[in-house]
Chain A
């Protein structure tokens, strides 16, 4: 880390690239000049960066939650009805091969430049992924567990709630983690192209005013949020679940 920072500063000090392309990270080149850290701190204090981060996160959460609901329902239908599997299942797999951002022009035409389009591609990206992982999870429920429950008289929704769904939880969590990463990418890509505020739009602004320090600041925020949610939320839940299920014992 320290080495990387040193190299960065060196490149900046020796002006390998012009200053607007490669601003210093911590130590300003001229007294009181621009640095990435300064821009980051000032952006956070002034609220500009925080506001944009908040806007992006709200879209992410709305989109993600809707996607989880859609994904689980579709995944279940694919598992439950062969006809849905043959039709929708195939369709979903093909759609998933299309990168999220490709939908953006279409989303802009449908929903206009703004929040609507961004949330649309977040939902699309995450929901398709969750549909596939959850249907796979449902299909891999051990038949023995279903037989055990039904011999004790469980059926219908009770069977689903107490056995089928519970049994898929480790795989569902892994699926959500994957979908969350897709959703986070989709938010930023959407905001970059579709405007409407948020970190992505700010990034685009940084590009147009050639403010590399702002761009780097935003990239740092994106990276930190991404790895924070992954490490502190998903990895922890995953570890807890795996330990409880006895799939992996961490010691």
Chain B
């Protein structure tokens, strides 16, 4: 089961047309195979095309060339076998929390009573059973993201696509949600693609980390993470890996900054350092 290939990207290429400009290459010749039940992070600085890649898998954007297979079938647009959780929860403000979670089920023509029971079940899994009747604006950012995760998982998609889902949250909330997501992933066995710019987040959560590069966007390196779960971010394997990734990223960032800032750049080299006492993870 674990070895089964779930998502296959072959030579995926994506360009954005701009007025009066040469097209921007967002993804250049990306090939990646993701196994069933695997947790893969796409890590990289902004502009590396990680979100574009996720959107292509989601079917929200179309690749310019190359092929993309999910369960050996090409993707035609969005589908409820692949659900995206975005950086902002995107809860419908006019619906109660429960109705938000039920949305995808009712869309799939699940009978109302059953949909309600399943939605309640998921709200309890994300510890929000008491808030079923609350309106989204009454919830905190972390609670909203929990609802968004429940809303995505309640329809039992095969693939969960997460686009920097915790980036807008404070660090404490983020760490709690890491643990919960890890637990949910182990219980449900979903294939997860997780976009992030936080190295520690990627290291703590993933089976494999795909480090991406910019100009043109693409894959720079892939790091397997072989630490046992549940993980602790102070695990020496993880810290070692984090440093390795950071070193590679620094080269990448250096390239980007040099291009952007030119000669002014020399002053800024020291900004990218890991603080070993900082438990929050280093951002790019």
CB distance from A160 to the nearest CB of B (A): 14
Q: Is the CB of A153 within 8 A of B94?
A: no
Interface centre among B58, B93, B151 (most CB of A within 10 A): B93
B240 CB–A CB distance under 8 Å: no
Q: Is the CB of A147 within 8 A of B86?
A: yes
A residues 161-193 touching B (CB-CB < 8 Å):
162-163, 166-167, 169
Bound together, the chains give a CA A245 to CA B155 distance in angstroms of: 25
A residues 135-174 touching B (CB-CB < 8 Å):
142, 144-145, 147-154, 158, 162-163, 166-167, 169
Q: Is the CB of A147 within 8 A of B90?
A: yes
CB distance from B58 to the nearest CB of A (A): 6
Q: Is the CB of A148 within 8 A of B86?
A: yes
Bound together, the chains give a CA A73 to CA B239 distance in angstroms of: 59
Given contacts A244-B135, A245-B137, contact A148 B80 (CB under 8 A): no
| B94 partner, pick from A142, A144, A158, A169, beta carbons under 8 A | A169
CB distance from B8 to the nearest CB of A (A): 20
Q: Is the CB of B80 within 8 A of A246?
A: no
CB distance from A215 to the nearest CB of B (A): 45
Q: Is the CB of A151 within 8 A of B103?
A: no
Q: Is the CB of B94 within 8 A of A245?
A: yes
CB distance from A237 to the nearest CB of B (A): 14
| B103 partner, pick from A142, A152, A169, beta carbons under 8 A | A152
Number of contacts between A and B (CB, 8 Å)?
60
CB distance from B132 to the nearest CB of A (A): 16
CB distance from B93 to the nearest CB of A (A): 5
Q: Is the CB of A162 within 8 A of B103?
A: yes
Q: Is the CB of A151 within 8 A of B82?
A: yes
Q: How large is the interface on B (under 10, 10 to 19, 20 to 34, 35 or more residues)?
A: 20 to 34
Q: Is the CB of A153 within 8 A of B108?
A: yes
CB distance from A146 to the nearest CB of B (A): 9
Q: For residue A149, which residue of chain B has the nearest CB? A: B103
Bound together, the chains give a CA A59 to CA B166 distance in angstroms of: 55
| A152 partner, pick from B93, B104, B136, beta carbons under 8 A | B104
Residues of A within 8 A of B274 (CB): none
Given contacts A150-B60, A151-B84, contact A246 B93 (CB under 8 A): yes
Q: Is the CB of A166 within 8 A of B92?
A: yes
CB distance from A34 to the nearest CB of B (A): 54
Give the number of residues in A that approach B within 8 Å (Cβ atoms).
Answer: 20
Q: Is the CB of A246 within 8 A of B138?
A: yes
Q: Is the CB of A153 within 8 A of B90?
A: no
Given contacts A152-B83, A152-B104, A153-B108, contact A245 B78 (CB under 8 A): no
B107 CB–A CB distance under 8 Å: yes
B23 CB–A CB distance under 8 Å: no
Bound together, the chains give a CA A121 to CA B104 distance in angstroms of: 44
Q: Is the CB of A246 within 8 A of B137?
A: yes
Given contacts A151-B60, A162-B103, A246-B135, contact A145 B90 (CB under 8 A): yes
Q: Is the CB of A154 within 8 A of B135?
A: no
Q: Is the CB of A144 within 8 A of B104?
A: no
| A246 partner, pick from B78, B136, B151, B161, beta carbons under 8 A | B136
Residues of B within 8 A of A145 (CB): 90, 92
Bound together, the chains give a CA A152 to CA B94 distance in angstroms of: 18
Q: Is the CB of A244 within 8 A of B94?
A: yes
Residues of A within 8 A of B94 (CB): 166-167, 169, 244-245
Q: Is the CB of A147 within 8 A of B107?
A: no
Q: Is the CB of A151 within 8 A of B78?
A: yes
Q: Known pairs A163-B92, A166-B92, A246-B135. 13 more at Cβ < 8 A? A: A145-B90, A148-B84, A150-B60, A151-B78, A152-B80, A152-B152, A153-B78, A153-B80, A153-B107, A154-B107, A244-B94, A246-B136, A246-B137
Rank and list the top 9 A-B pairs by shortest CB-CB distance, nearest first: A246-B137, A153-B80, A148-B90, A152-B104, A151-B84, A144-B90, A150-B78, A245-B93, A151-B78
